[in-house]
Amino acid sequence: MKRLLAMIRARLLEVVRDRSALAWNLLFAPLLVVGMAVVFSGSPPPLFKVGVLGESPLTAQTHPFLATEATQFYREPDLEKAVVKLQRHRIDLLLDPSARPLRYWVNTESAKGRLLQSMLKGGDPDARAQPVTGTSIRYSDWLVPGLLGLNIMFSSLFAIGHVIVRYRKSGYLKRLNGTPLRAVEFISAQLIACLLLIVGIAAGMYAATDLFLHLRMEGSYFNLLLVAVLGSMSMIAMSLLISARIASEELSGGLLNLLSWPMVVLSGVFFSLDGAPAVVQAAAQALPLTHMLEAARAVMIDGAGLADIARPLLALAAMTALFLAIGAGFFRWSQD
């Protein structure tokens, strides 16, 4: 019993003496509570999302269906772009209340869309369905790129950040500092090794998923590989930025969680941000996972070429260069 109590006391003293980790642990819970309160305050999130064409007020005076509960109605300025969102399961229904009778577009592959259609026809039997040109995709074709991207994100952030912090804590980096190895060479080696592992695992997961779900693939596999490589590099570089100076595994874990959860919520893994406030959509553009998923879905679903995905690729390349430059500049070999 004495030995057990001694070990408990030693562990508690270790935590208390690690001031950075202790401060983070004390701050993380309040920050998490505040963040959850901001995100989930107000009315409950809607079950359905409906795009509305035209400038008519989004009220029941325009059409009784616009008063449907648990449904978010927002304006869509462009019909063609709105139909594409409908096909991609980013919205559940599209309405044109200015037409008489009311016109609507529905993706027949969407269960939510079919349910909304039944509710609409129940209150307005004269509402006319409009043809949706092009091929409607399955929800799995839209969701799987997000899940693969999510796996790449967690692997990129946590596979290398903890390793470097452990190297520094154990003194391994201090011994390396006695060699001609430079910080930028060490960081580049870590990035390349981690990149090979993550992209290889992601490719295996894609192949296994495709075997069972027969994923839609309209574009080039080379372009998809390029998206995976640049996306992984940007998030590995982000992890190196966090682990450049930290010597506490607890603190690095907390900071990596702080980076990963906004990407889970805001990058469009499970649902789109159409109709969300402009500030939320702008914040999502600062996250590398957003650009990776945008480019991957464009290649897989729309058959986009390199010119079509140049913007997200350039954004990922710029983030990688910025994170690597800052990480190399702030890199510390020892915890002293």
SS (H, E, C) the chain: CHHHHHHHHHHHHHHHHCHHHHHHHHHHHHHHHHHHHHHHCCCCCCCEEEEECCCCCCCCCCCHHHHCCCEEEEECCCHHHHHHHHHCCCCCEEEECCCCCCEEECCCCCHHHHHHHHHHHHHCCCCEECCCCCCCCCHHHHHHHHHHHHHHHHHHHHHHHHHHHHHHHHCHHHHHCCCCCCHHHHHHHHHHHHHHHHHHHHHHHHHHHHHHHCCCCCCCHHHHHHHHHHHHHHHHHHHHHHCCCCCCHHHHHHHHHHHHHHHHHHCCCCCCCCCCCHHHHHHHCCCHHHHHHHHHHHHHHHCCCCCCCHHHHHHHHHHHHHHHHHHHHHCCCCCC
pLDDT score recorded for residue 195: 86
CA distances from 173 to 37, 178, 181, 246, 281 (A): 41, 9, 10, 12, 40
CA distances from 130 to 67, 79, 136, 144 (A): 22, 12, 14, 29
pLDDT score recorded for residue 35: 61
Say how many C-beta atoms besides its own lie within 10 A of residue 252's C-beta. 25
Say how many C-beta atoms besides its own lie within 10 A of residue 112's C-beta. 19
The length of the chain is: 336
pLDDT score recorded for residue 274: 74
Whole-number Å distance between alpha carbons of 108 and 131: 11
- Quote the pTM value: 0.72
pLDDT score recorded for residue 223: 93
pLDDT score recorded for residue 293: 93
Whole-number Å distance between alpha carbons of 214 and 325: 40
pLDDT score recorded for residue 290: 93
Whole-number Å distance between alpha carbons of 32 and 147: 24
Closest among 125, 137, 116 to 72, alpha carbons compared? 116
pLDDT score recorded for residue 264: 85
pLDDT score recorded for residue 221: 93
pLDDT score recorded for residue 215: 85
pLDDT along the chain (336 residues), means of 10: 70 64 62 60 73 86 86 86 81 86 85 87 86 70 87 84 79 82 79 86 88 86 93 89 77 80 83 76 89 92 88 94 85 73
Burial class (CB in 10 A: 0-12, 13-18, 19+), 309: buried
